[in-house]
A and B are shown apart, each in its own frame.
Chain A
Amino acid sequence: MDDELLKLEAELKQLRPSAPSSWLREEIARELTPTKSRAAAFFLVPLAAAAALILAFNLNREPAAKATRPTTLVSAASPNSASSTASSSSASHHAKTAKPFQPVAAENVLVASSDEGLVTLADGTPARQLRQTYVDTITWKDSRTNASLKWSMPREEVRVVPIALQ
């Protein structure tokens, strides 16, 4: 390169790039700083997931119990039975109020897990931070038409596990 280009190169090296904005620094700090809410997620997220599973399980059981009623009615039905008339009325009411889609399955799949190294908790305790990504999926099914509906939600779990140093 000629002297003029070397001079230009030296001049360019003297220029200092502009500093990143405070917005960018704050955003990075927000993402990299373990917050109370993230630590709380260690306890709350599994509880929420468990609650969702229990709810889905119960919803799943309920229609099964109700579904036995019409079967019983059919087997017990006789043209001249007064009780069967009352039961038929009840079954008819149930058929009108039953929701077409019922949850039939719920699952959690662990798709990624990473060890983010050591962090220090607010009280100075060293801890290891683990980040796990799940996909929770709940499936509903309409037994009349066999149509199914799946709801999948990604979920990130941050576990902060205190370490006892000897």
Chain B
Amino acid sequence: MEDAHDSWKKWFQLHGPRLLLCARQWTRTLADAEDVVQEAFVRFWRQQRQLGGEPFALLLLSVRRAAIDLGRRETRRVAREERSQNDDASAENFFQPQPDAEGDERRQSIEAALQHLPAEQRHVLVLKIWGELTFEEIAAQLEISPNTAASRYRYALVALRQHLTVADCQHG
């Protein structure tokens, strides 16, 4: 029998990065995102992992609700802000650095362009690309129709391309 206290580590190692990336779309800071991932993951692992359905989608739903709740709570605000100030600047990156300088510059451009997207477009884009959800699953997560999810995704890609083109022109 696999030790339950080791299996969560494997699961988190595999899915933790994209879970955190999605959480960051719904929170103000990395520290906030870590808080909601911690809360949702612990609750999921203790109480919900035996439930049917796609675990990642279920966990994402839990993360989103935790993010909404977090925005309403004030008690942990000071601790979060202190930790946020202590965060390593590199840890604020959405994505892992690229090995070559040119690739890493492109990564930074993409991150900056992502930040400029309207929130509702960015949420759909992140859930689709890195959350690997279908439009139906995204629709369920965000309480919108699948068609709306699909069109927001397309608008997000178009807007991202425009931002990146402008950035490329500015850098010559």
**What residues make up the interface of A, taking CB atoms closer than 8 Å to B?**
1, 4-5, 8-9, 11-13, 15-21, 23-25, 27-29, 31-34, 114, 116-120, 131
Whose C-beta in chain A lies nearest to the C-beta of B93? A18
- Closest chain-A Cβ to B133's Cβ sits at a distance in Å of 13
Structural contact, A9 and B129, CB atoms closer than 8 A = yes
Structural contact, B34 and A18, CB atoms closer than 8 A = no
A21 to B30 CA separation, bound complex (whole angstroms): 10
Structural contact, A19 and B157, CB atoms closer than 8 A = no
Structural contact, B42 and A31, CB atoms closer than 8 A = yes
A33 to B46 CA separation, bound complex (whole angstroms): 11
Report the count of interface residues on B (CB-CB < 8 A): 39
- Closest chain-B Cβ to A131's Cβ sits at a distance in Å of 8
Whose C-beta in chain A lies nearest to the C-beta of B3? A120
User: Is there a chain A Cβ closer than 8 Å to B59's Cβ?
Assistant: no
A19 to B30 CA separation, bound complex (whole angstroms): 12
Say yes or no: A24-B129 contact (C-beta < 8 A), given A8-B160, A15-B95.
no
A20 to B9 CA separation, bound complex (whole angstroms): 12
Structural contact, B4 and A25, CB atoms closer than 8 A = no
A19 to B21 CA separation, bound complex (whole angstroms): 9
Provide a sorted-by-A list of 8 A–B residue pairs whose CB atoms are within 8 angstroms: A1-B154, A1-B157, A5-B158, A12-B110, A12-B160, A21-B91, A117-B4, A118-B4
Whose C-beta in chain A lies nearest to the C-beta of B97? A18
A19 to B91 CA separation, bound complex (whole angstroms): 9
Chain B, range 46-92, C-beta contacts under 8 Å to A? 46-47, 50, 83, 87, 91
User: Is there a chain A Cβ closer than 8 Å to B26's Cβ?
Assistant: no
Structural contact, B157 and A21, CB atoms closer than 8 A = no
Structural contact, B47 and A116, CB atoms closer than 8 A = yes
Q: Kindly list the 9 A-B residue pairs having the minimum CB-CB distance in the complex, ordered from nearest.
A: A17-B21, A17-B17, A15-B95, A24-B34, A16-B96, A20-B16, A31-B42, A5-B157, A12-B129
Chain A proximity mask over B2-33: 1 for CB below 8 Å, otherwise 0: 01110011001000111011000000000000
